[in-house]
Amino acid sequence: MHGNMTMGVAAAAGGIVTAALLVIGDEILSGRTKDRNIGFIAEHLTGIGIQLREVRVVPDIEAEIVAAVDTLRHRFDYLFTTGGIGPTHDDITADAIAKAFGVEIDVDERAVAVMRPHYETMQLPLTPARLRMARIPTGADLIDNAISKAPGFKLGNVIVMAGVPSIMQAMLIAVTPALRTGARMLSATLTVWRPESDIAELFRAVQGEFPEVAMGSYPFSEDGKYGAHLVLRSVAVATLTAAEGRLRAELAGRGWI
C-alpha cells in the first residue's frame, strides 16, 4: 500500500473563473469523428486557472447552437466552441454566434488579409468556399491560426475555434493571453490498494468534514488486486493539505497505507 500527493502551482490571486465547452458537429454525435479536443481544453484551462464546468455536444442545427450559446454564455464566465467554422455549407457556427448576439456577419477584411498570403504561397485562389472562413460577426476579435491561417474569433465571452485538433490547439494557445484567469485548481492523490467498498464509509466521513474540497474515487485493478485513486481538489492549498492529511491519517490508522 502506498500514497502520494501531487500539487500544482500556487493558486493565483482572485476568485473562481468558470467556462463551458460547446462541441458542434453531426460527425461527433454520429460517432464518425471521435472527439480529441475536450481533454486538451480541460487540461489547458485547469492549468491556467479556468474551471471547465460543463461540456455539451450539439448538431449542425442553427437553432440548437443558438439556444446552447445563449444559455451557456450567460451561465459561465467563458464559453468555448469547437467545430463548424470551415468552408462547407454545413459550417454554420459563425452564423449561429452572430444570431445569438444579434449582430451582422460578413466577410471580414482583417481575416482576408491574413488568409490571402497563405493561399497565394500555395498558388490557390481565395474561392467563395474559402472566403466562408473569413466571415466574422461584427464586433468580434480575431484569433490567430498558426496552422492554416483562417482565424477563429472571440465575441464577448464566447471563444470560437476550429474542430480540427491541431488548429484548435493553436487557436486556444493564441487566445490564452486575452483570457481572465483565477485561482488554479490544486489536487492531491492518495493511491490505496483496497476495493472501493472497503473505503467508502471512511471516504464519505472525511468528505463531510471538508465539504469545500471536491473528492472523488477512481477504482482500478492490477495483477488481480483492486485499488482506488482518491483524488482531492481545491483552490485553497491550506484546506487541501488539511483534508489530505486527515484522509491519510484515517487510512493509516486502518493499516491501508
Q: pLDDT at position 86, please?
A: 95
pLDDT confidence band for 14 (50 / 70 / 90): low
Query: pLDDT category, 7, cuts 50, 70, 90?
Result: very low
Mean pLDDT of 195-208: 96
Q: Provide mean pLDDT across the span 118-135.
A: 95
Of the chain, the percentage scoring pLDDT greater than 90 comes to 91
Q: Is the pLDDT of residue 6 over 70?
A: no
What average pLDDT does the segment 206-226 reach? 95
Identify the pLDDT of residue 3: 34
Question: For residue 105, what pLDDT is reported?
Answer: 98
Q: In the prediction, which pLDDT does 10 show?
A: 32
pLDDT tens, residue by residue, 24-59:
999 999 999 999 999 999 999 999 999 999 999 999
pTM: 0.83
For residue range 143-194, what is the model confidence (pLDDT) as tens digits? 999 999 999 999 999 999 999 999 999 999 999 999 999 989 999 999 999 9
- At 135, the amino acid letter reads R
CA atoms of 69 and 179, how far apart (whole Å): 18
- What DSSP string describes the chain? --------SPPPSS---EEEEEEE-HHHHHTSS---SHHHHHHHHHHHT-EEEEEEEE-S-HHHHHHHHHHHHHHSSEEEEES--SSSTT--HHHHHHHHHT--EEE-HHHHHHHHHHHHHTT----HHHHGGGEEETTPEEE--TTT---EEEETTEEEE-SSHHHHHHHHHHHGGGS---PPPEEEEEEE-S-HHHHHHHHHHHHHH-TTSEEEEEEEEETTEEEEEEEEEES-HHHHHHHHHHHHHHHHHTT--
Percent of the chain with pLDDT over 70: 95
The pairing of strands 105-107 and 135-137 is: antiparallel
Distance CA 225, CA 50 (A): 36
